[in-house]
Structure 1
Amino acid sequence: MDLTTAATTATALSATAPLKVAVILASNREGRFAPVVADWFRSRTDERPDIATDLVDVAALELPTALSYRPGPEDQALLAEVSGRLADADAFVVITPEYNHSYPAPLKNLIDWHRAEWQAKPVAFVSYGGVSGGLRAVEHLRQVFAELHTASIRDTVSFHNAGALFDDEGRHKDPAGPDAAAKTLLDQLVWWGRALRDAKAVHPYGG
C-alpha cells in the first residue's frame, strides 16, 4: 500500500471512529468540588457521538510518588493499568483546580510517570477556582505538556468562583456561556485528535 492509499484509508477510518478522550480529574482533596465539574463536562461529551470518554481520577489511583522509586508488583500492576488507558486515548482533557497558583501534585505525579503515552496527542483544559478560575494552573500545565510533545488546545473552559455557579443538583445556573465554551473546546479537540490520529496511522511519531 502506498502512502496516498494509506492516508486515504486512515482518514476514512478516523472520520467514523469516535475520538477516545481520557478525562483526567486532577484533584484528590477531601471535599473536593472536582466531581461536580467533571459530571457537568461529561454531560456535554455524552451529547457527542464523535467522542468516547474514559474518566481517570487521580484520587482513585494511589500512584507511587517518586520517579526514583522501584515499584513492587502491586504498584507495577497499577501503573500498567493506568499507562494502558493513557496509551489507548487519542486525546486528553484535564479538569483541574488551582492550588497555590499552580496545579495539584498528584496530577504532576501522573504526568511524570509517563512520556510516550502523551506524545503527539492533543490536550485540553477545564479549570475551576476562585477569582482566577484556575487559569494559572492551566498556564503551568501548558509548559509541562509542551515538553512531552503534547499539543495543547488554546481555548479552555474556566469557572471563576465555581462553588457559586452550580446548584445543589450540580446544574450550572447560567449554562449558555459554559456550554458554548465547551463546544468550542471539544470541536477543536476533535479536529486535532483526528488530524494527529490520521498522521500517526501513516507515519509513527518520532519525538
Structure 2
Amino acid sequence: MKNKSTLFKAEQIVHIIDDDEAVLDSLSMLLDSVGVQNAIYDNAQTFLNSFSSDDISMLSGCIVLDIRMPGMSGMECQQRLEALKCPLPIIFITGHGDVPMAVEAMKKGAIEFIQKPFREQVLLDCIQHALEVNRNNQQRTLHALEVEKRCKSLTERENEVMHRVIAGQANKVIASELNLSQRTVEIHRANVMDKMQVKSLAELVTLVVAKE
C-alpha cells in the first residue's frame, strides 16, 4: 500500500453512481461548473469494480449514490463499501418513498440524504460538507499514523517507562519496580519526551490515550 501521507496530494473526487444517464450528465455538468472533480458510474457494481484502497484517488472525496437502482441497490452498495473499509462519505439521493430506507442508511453510516427533486445548491452544500468530513478524517488518520511511528521509535524499556509515567507513577517508584536507578529512569523519560515530540506530561498523555 502507498504511504498514507500521500493521501493529501490526491485531489478530492466526487463519485456519482446512478442508473439514470440524464442524472449522471446533469450532476457531472453541475460539478464541472463549480470546478469540482467528478467521476460517473451507471451502476453500483461498476464503481465497486473500480474501487481499491491502494488507489489514493479512491480515498479522497465522497460518493453521491442513488438508493434505488436495478441490480445492486444503493444500500447494498453501501454495505459492500463498508466491508471494503471505504473511507468516502456517502450522500444518498432518494425518492419520496425511499425516505425510510435513507434514514436506515444514515444509521449505518451515510452522511446525508437528499430527496428528489432537489435544488442544485442543496446538493452542492451536502457535497461540500462531505468533502470536509473526508478531509478531517484523513487528517486524523495521518496524525494517528505519525503517533504510531513515534511510538515505534521507542526502545522496549522507554516504552515501559512511558506507560508507567502515563499511569501516574513517580520516577522513584518506576526505578524501584524496574530495578533501575532513578537517574536512569530520568534519562529514559527524557528520551520518551524527545522521541514523542512533546514538552509536557499532559501533552504525552493526550497523545498516547488518543492513539489507544
TM-score normalised per structure 2: 0.50
Higher strand fraction (1 or 2): 1
2:63 is matched with which residue?
Answer: 92
Asked if 1:191 corresponds to 2:148, the answer is no
Measured on the aligned residues, the alpha-carbon RMSD in Å equals 3.6
Shift of 1:202: 2.7
1:82 counterpart (50, 71, 80)? 50
Deviation at 1:185, TM superposition (A): 1.0
Give the Cα–Cα distance (whole angstroms) in 1 for the partners of residues 120 and 45 of structure 2.
Answer: 28
- Structure-2 change in CA distance of 1:120 and 1:45 (3 Å): same
How many Å separate the matches in 2 of 1:93 and 1:86? 21
Structure 1, unaligned stretches of length 5 or more?
1-8, 28-33, 62-77, 98-102, 147-151, 161-176
Give the equivalent residue in structure 2 for 1:106. 72
**Aligned with residue 91 of structure 2, among 107, 110, 124:** 124
Aligned to 1:140: 104
2: CA distance, partners of 1:118 / 1:157: 24
CA distance in 2, matches of 1:60, 1:17: 24
Aligned-pair distance for 1:140?
2.8
Across the two proteins, how many residue pairs are aligned to each other?
138
1:21 matches 2:7: no
Quote the residue 2:116 is aligned against. 159
- Relative distance call for 1:116 and 1:191 in structure 2 (3 A) is same
CA contact (8 A) 1:21 1:92 kept: yes
Task: Please tell me the residue identity of whatever aligns with 1:191.
Answer: E
CA spacing shift, 1:45–1:85, aligned 2, 3 Å? farther
- Opposite residue 187 of structure 1, the aligned amino acid is Q
Paired position in structure 2 for 1:58: 43
- Identity over aligned residues, as a percent? 14
2:64–2:92 Cα contact (<8 Å) kept: yes
Q: Which runs of 4+ in 1 moved over 6 A?
A: none
Cα gap change, 1:59/1:93 in structure 2, threshold over 3 Å: closer, same or farther?
A: closer
Instruction: Decide whether aligned partners of structure 1 residues 203 and 119 sit closer, same or farther in structure 2, where only a CA change above 3 A counts.
Output: farther
Greater helix share, 1 or 2? Answer: 2
Contact 2:59 2:87 in 1 (8 A): no
The alpha carbon displacement at 1:42 in A equals: 1.7
Distance 2:54 2:103 in 1: 22
Corresponding residue number in structure 2 for 1:41: 27
